[in-house]
Amino acid sequence: MGAYQTMSDSELKERKQKLDLQYTEMKKKKLKLDMSRGRPAANQLDLTMDMLKYELIADRIANENGVDTRNYGGVDGLPAVKKIFSELLDIDPANIIAGGNSSLNIMYDIIARALIFGVPGGSKPWGQQGKIKFLCPSPGYDRHFAITEEFGIEMVNIEMKDDGPDMDMVERLVSEDSSIKGIWCVPKYSNPTGITYSDEVVKRFAALKPKADDFRIFWDNAYCVHDLDENGDKLLNLLAECEKNGTEDMAYLFASTSKISFAGSGVAIVAASKNNIEKMKKQLFMQTIGPDKINHLRHAAFFKDASGVKEHMKKHAAIVKPKFDIVEKTLYNELGGLEIGSWSNPKGGYFISFSALSGCAKRIVALCKEAGVVLTPAGASYPYGIDPQDSNIRIAPTCPTVENLKQAAELFCLCVKIAGVEKILSQRG
């Protein structure tokens, strides 16, 4: 099939009639599917059910190297669980704090504290410096942007390229503007574009020379072990690169087991420099009686070590990859050659990112919704929910079944076609 742009007006109008008929038929199926959030499917959650057996932790629960995991204390988390993350991320356990079930919560709290107290090395709390800004490589993770918006931090769009954020722009802005206090990053299998930052990009991050003395990189390595097959992307270790440059206080790294064990009952960590960790431990001691160490122990006992995690992730991939495959295949079969959209084929993570013709994303999402398939709202992956091109759509294929996904992907392609024809016709006036 040829590109829509090469078709005549009458051909396009005829095509539109056919598509509308198909859409009417599709609506009769009364689909009710949700591809809006990166939620694990139930059978992924089933993979770690043995973690919930008491026998797994019975020997250790009351005396894990002298610690009664049931009691108060240990504000930086159980050493055994820090060790696993240490191996996975190649970071010294002393540079890791293991917390509760939500890395988002750790990020939010770090920003709240930066606003109230400032960060190590900073001369003033962020909250006492008037207008401050965060750089937001976009499309990016909507819940990152929601946090900065909530705190009234101005968000600055940065173009996301195939190897990471536009580093020329990042370097320039960070070195010129002392009101820029941070940047959001999902460096591996970026949410939603699925790309992984290149070694050069990571090195350029580590070499940043911010004008602000209290600038921080928020490095949300949410998909650090979430490869779809054995040929997963490799991400350079930001903290190690920063150490080479003496910039290690600039980086906060995050990870969690939310998409390894249980989405609501996992373990989240932050890794950072000695200065940052020491400060955080003191602050955490004021905030909490410590994380849930029994849950830490469950994770440590179930996974044992980094290779245990990696083996486990192959089971996730076996469930998730066929879902990515069916969506990508449907997109290819239905939209290939039409030149009305392009999409990512990521090697891991939780999303397929779709780029529609400019001005079509909202229309596509609305059409899908009307026919029973909920997608992430168009624009959600941009600061303030505004996609300047109205082009990007985030597809989250993990939660529905393969069969449902096939139907949803077919509907999606149909809606892309309808919106595409409409757009081209309207452009021609």
Q: Which is nearer to a second copy, 173 or 260 (CB)?
A: 260
Amino acid at 82: K
Q: Which is nearer to a second copy, 45 or 366 (CB)?
A: 45
Minimum CB–partner distance for residue 253 and a second copy (Å): 18
Q: Which is nearer to a second copy, 288 or 401 (CB)?
A: 288
Minimum CB–partner distance for residue 42 and a second copy (Å): 6
Q: Which is nearer to a second copy, 237 or 283 (CB)?
A: 283
Minimum CB–partner distance for residue 76 and a second copy (Å): 13
Minimum CB–partner distance for residue 100 and a second copy (Å): 5
Q: Which is nearer to a second copy, 57 or 313 (CB)?
A: 57
Distances (CA, A) of 296 to 368, 397, 413: 41, 29, 43
Minimum CB–partner distance for residue 361 and a second copy (Å): 24
Q: Which is nearer to a second copy, 45 or 207 (CB)?
A: 45
Minimum CB–partner distance for residue 406 and a second copy (Å): 23
Q: Which is nearer to a second copy, 279 or 363 (CB)?
A: 279
Minimum CB–partner distance for residue 80 and a second copy (Å): 15
Tokens of residue 81, six digits = 């669980």
Minimum CB–partner distance for residue 275 and a second copy (Å): 18
Q: Which is nearer to a second copy, 143 or 369 (CB)?
A: 143
Distances (CA, A) of 336 to 9, 322, 340, 341: 21, 20, 9, 9
Q: What is the 3-state secondary structure (H, E, C) of the chain?
A: CCCHHHCCHHHHHHHHHHHHHHHHHHHHCCCCEEECCCCCCHHHHHHHHHHHCHHHCCCCCCCECCECCCCCCCCCCCHHHHHHHHHHHCCCHHHEEECCCCHHHHHHHHHHHHHHHCCCCCCCCHHHCCCCEEEEEECCCHHHHHHHHHCCCEEEEEEEECCEECHHHHHHHHHHCCCEEEEEECCCCCCCCCCCCCHHHHHHHHCCCCCCCCCEEEEECCCCCCECCCCCCCCCCHHHHHHHHCCHHHEEEEEECCCCCCCCCCCEEEECCHHHHHHHHHHHHHHCCCCCHHHHHHHHHHHCCHHHHHHHHHHHHHHHHHHHHHHHHHHHHHHCCCCCEEECCCCECCCEEEEECCCCHHHHHHHHHHCCEEECCCCCCCHHHCCCCCCEEEECCCCCCHHHHHHHHHHHHHHHHHHHHHHHHHHHC
Minimum CB–partner distance for residue 125 and a second copy (Å): 9
Q: Which is nearer to a second copy, 114 or 206 (CB)?
A: 114
Minimum CB–partner distance for residue 166 and a second copy (Å): 27
Nearest-10 Cα torsion for 196, 163, 385, 271: 50
Residues that bind a second copy (CB under 8 A): 37, 39-40, 42, 45, 49, 52-54, 57, 61-62, 68-74, 100-102, 104-105, 108-109, 112-113, 115-116, 127, 143, 146-147, 150-151, 258, 262-265, 283, 286-295
Q: Which is nearer to a second copy, 55 or 403 (CB)?
A: 55
Minimum CB–partner distance for residue 150 and a second copy (Å): 5
Q: Which is nearer to a second copy, 167 or 396 (CB)?
A: 396
Cβ neighbours of residue 211 under 8 Å, at least 6 residues apart?
Answer: 174, 175, 176, 177, 178, 180
